């Protein structure tokens, strides 16, 4: 899974930085002293690293110690207090994580409206609708294999071997039939029929055709065999947002997941249903994906004050 690969890469970078710091200061890398880890994180902050990066670095050092069979020193109060101070200073400096806009059902319809019915348009339409209906992350969209789409009377069941929230067990995600232009099942069928995709990655790169020779009809676009990259998934969302008149910088790969959960919330879905749709382990994680509109709408004390 691409997400797991990204985490491993970040952990390796964190361990390299930690070992370099220990060598520079003549301190043992394993087992580490809590005071050294606190000093390391403070020094990395002074070099300009963001607070979320430092949280990830602490997690990497925790994993490093556990992998070596050692008690992790990363939960020591000195480490926790250092990270808390870093978070406070980051918040005071206005360093809040940028959240992409939620592609709700209303916005999604606007994104779909200008998309033509050519090969690239059919792919992008299916990608947007599958990402929305399944509340999928970029890596989950890119990882979809045709063989893991099972037809049922009510739609398709997508099986993903791994997700960010479930590294050890496969998850099954329903993609229901719809009665509007937002139906993901029909969009997948149209894309597969046009592209001739019988198996392998569902979403693939499309190359523009070579210029036609004189007297010959233009050749068709060429469809690749490898899955789209995570970057390509985000680029497609941004490109379709720009074509619909939105600022593309406000959108990204997570816009589809945020849009699905926000739409469900606005339709009165129970938080437990939203948590299940988003495949979140905790409700506080779910809250990060919801985009609230009017702060006064549905206020618990409305009509009382």
One pLDDT digit (tens) per residue for the chain, 305 residues = 444 667 888 899 999 999 999 999 999 999 999 999 999 999 999 999 999 899 999 999 999 999 999 999 999 999 999 999 999 998 888 877 678 899 999 999 999 999 999 999 999 999 999 999 999 999 999 999 999 999 999 999 999 986 555 555 678 999 999 999 999 999 999 999 999 999 999 999 998 777 767 777 777 788 999 999 999 999 999 999 999 999 999 999 899 999 999 999 888 888 889 888 988 888 777 777 777 666 666 667 677 77
**Are 135 and 182 in a shared domain?**
yes
**Are 68 and 139 in a shared domain?**
no
- Please report whether residue 98 resides in a domain: no
Closest CA to 134 of 116, 157, 150: 157
- Please report whether residue 183 resides in a domain: yes
DSSP string over the chain: -HHHHHHHHHHHHHHHHHHHHHHHHT--SSSPPHHHHHHHHHHHHHTT--HHHHHHHHHHHHHHHHHTT----TTSHHHHHHHHHHHHHHHHTT-PPPPPPP--HHHHHHHHTT--SSHHHHHHHHHHHHHHHTT--HHHHHT-BGGGEEEETTEEEEEES-BTTBSSS-EEEEEE--SSTT-HHHHHHHHHHHHT--SSBSSEEEEPPPPPPTTSPPPPPEEEEEEPPHHHHHHHHHHHHHHTTS-GGG--TTHHHHHHHHHHHHTT--HHHHHHHHT-SSHHHHHTT-----TTTT-TTTTT-
**Are 125 and 22 in a shared domain?**
no
- Please report whether residue 298 resides in a domain: no
**Are 133 and 6 in a shared domain?**
no
The CATH number for 64's domain is: 1.10.150.130
| Angle at CA of residue 91, ends 90 and 94, nearest 5° | 90
- Please report whether residue 195 resides in a domain: yes
4 backbone φψ class: left, alpha, beta (φ>0; ψ -120 to 50): alpha
Q: What are phi and psi of 294, to 5 degrees?
A: -65, 120
**Are 119 and 49 in a shared domain?**
no
**Are 69 and 132 in a shared domain?**
no
**Are 116 and 62 in a shared domain?**
no
Length of the chain, please?
305
**Are 166 and 270 in a shared domain?**
yes
Closest CA to 156 of 189, 128, 127: 189
- Please report whether residue 236 resides in a domain: yes
Q: Per the structure, how many domains does the chain have?
A: 2
Among 92, 113, 139, where does a domain finish? 92
- Structural domain including 133 reads 105-209+222-287
């Amino acid at each position: 899974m691409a997400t797991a690969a990204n985490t491993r890469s970040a952990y390796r970078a964190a361990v390299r930085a930690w070992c370099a710091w220990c060598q520079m200061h003549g301190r043992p890398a394993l087992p580490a002293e809590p005071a050294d880890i606190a000093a390391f994180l403070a020094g990395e902050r002074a070099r300009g690293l963001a607070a979320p990066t430092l949280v990830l670095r602490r997690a990497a050092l925790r994993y490093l110690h556990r992998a070596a069979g050692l008690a992790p020193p990363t939960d020591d109060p000195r480490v926790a207090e250092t990270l808390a101070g870093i978070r406070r200073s980051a918040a005071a400096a206005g360093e809040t994580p940028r959240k992409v806009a939620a592609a709700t059902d209303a916005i999604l319809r606007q994104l779909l409206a200008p998309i033509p019915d050519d090969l690239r348009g059919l792919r992008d339409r299916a990608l947007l609708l599958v990402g929305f209906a399944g509340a999928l992350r970029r890596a989950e969209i890119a990882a979809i294999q045709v063989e893991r789409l099972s037809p049922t009377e009510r739609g398709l069941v997508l099986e993903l071997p791994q997700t960010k929230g479930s590294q050890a067990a496969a998850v099954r995600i329903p993609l229901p039939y719809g009665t509007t232009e937002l139906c993901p099942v029909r969009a997948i069928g149209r894309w597969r029929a046009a592209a001739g995709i019988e198996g392998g990655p569902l979403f693939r790169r499309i190359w523009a055709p070579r210029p036609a020779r004189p007297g010959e009809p233009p050749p068709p676009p060429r469809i690749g065999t490898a899955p789209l990259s995570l970057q390509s998934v985000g680029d497609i969302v941004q490109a379709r947002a720009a074509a619909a008149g939105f600022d593309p910088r406000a959108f990204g790969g997570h816009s589809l997941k945020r849009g699905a959960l926000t739409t469900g919330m606005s339709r009165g879905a129970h938080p437990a249903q939203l948590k299940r749709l988003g495949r979140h382990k905790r409700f506080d994680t779910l809250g990060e994906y919801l985009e609230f509109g009017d702060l006064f709408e549905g206020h618990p004390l409305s009509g009382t004050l």
